[in-house]
Amino acid sequence: MQRTTGLISDNLLELEMVDANGKVITASKKRNSDLFWASRGGGGGNFGIYTKYKLKVRRAPARATVFRIIWPWHQFERVLKVWQRWAPSTSTKLGCELSIGPKKGGNVNMLGLFLGSKKEALRLLAPMLRVGTPSKKTVRLLPYPKVVNFMLDPDPVLPQRYSNQFSSGYGRRPFNDKAIKAMREFLERAEGGTPAGFFFLNWGGAVSRVSPKATAFYWRKAKFYVEWNSSWLKRSHAAKNILLVRQTRRKLQPYIVGSYINVPDQGIKHSGPVYYGSNYARLRKIKGKYDPQNVFNNPQSIPPG
């Protein structure tokens, strides 16, 4: 829904934070506006402990159209080539993700939401419905509570038995054959039986109408977001999986910009500008004001200016 409503951080109106000295600070556009700016995309445990958020609430539509299309794994190149040209340019009322699993047991899955009728959704989806030979096609107009259930399966409360390595970036133009070859090499080598693969999300609309410097979230002018991950059960498999993800990042580097801090990759050196673009210097100054002793830190946190 971000192409219609913007990022969740774009809908933040006010926050409450406790700093390292135990002082309670309220921030909004009119009060401690520097902290408010930084917290919309740069918070993440950098400045203090956030205890309250006030968000703009959007009225839900009565109904919306959901869709899921599944293709065999071996058709992923054909599907991706169509998706990455179609998805960023289609109606901003349509948001979708494209997930490509590993060769071992994976498939290609497009899941999405259109804030409109089924008839209009089918018209917009035509380029994707024509590509390859889908094994499953679902397009339904549903009451909004059922839309939520369709899009978000309940999370099972289970102990996580596997470990992950993620990386991510933003694509400003469609991946060419060389980039897709690097994807294939990754997908052929990733382990089966645990979560792994590529995940694409179409960008634009309300996200890109906000200036990159208006909030701390910088990467607004992309066509799509992409992340990839590998996971493993045996500790002895950790090194090869981490290396696989990081080698893939090096191969894809000419085709992406930036990275998303919520899927941190400690293999990224000098990560500040990669996560925050040219907003990084301003974020360091704000860090120096609100947490000068760097009490709130992690391996890739923002250091005080």
| pLDDT tens digit sequence for 166-180 | 999 999 999 999 999
Nearest CA among 2, 218, 171 for reference residue 92: 2
- Judged against a pLDDT cut of 90, whether residue 21 lies above it is answered with yes
- Judged against a pLDDT cut of 90, whether residue 266 lies above it is answered with yes
User: In the chain, which residues fall in CATH 3.40.462.20?
Assistant: 63-151
- Judged against a pLDDT cut of 80, whether residue 158 lies above it is answered with no
Q: DSSP letter at 9?
A: G
Q: What is the pLDDT of residues 43-87, one digit of tens each?
A: 889 999 999 999 999 999 999 999 999 999 999 999 999 999 999
Q: Token digits for 44?
A: 């993440």
- Judged against a pLDDT cut of 80, whether residue 248 lies above it is answered with yes
pLDDT score of 156? 72
Q: DSSP letter at 72?
A: E
Packed helices 177-189 and 238-252: angle between N→C axes, nearest 10 degrees: 170
* Domain 2-58+284-290, CATH among 3.30.1360.120, 3.40.50.620, 2.50.20.10, 3.30.465.10: 3.30.465.10
Of the chain, the percentage scoring pLDDT greater than 70 comes to: 100
Phi then psi dihedrals of residue 211, to 5 deg: -65, 140
Q: What is the mean pLDDT of residues 284-290?
A: 98
Secondary structure of the chain: what % helix, strand, coil (to 5)?
A: 35, 25, 40
SS3 257: strand
Q: What is the mean pLDDT of residues 259-277?
A: 96
User: In the chain, which residues fall in CATH 3.30.465.10?
Assistant: 2-58+284-290
pLDDT score of 50? 97
Which overall architecture, per CATH, does domain 63-151 show?
3-Layer(aba) Sandwich (3.40)
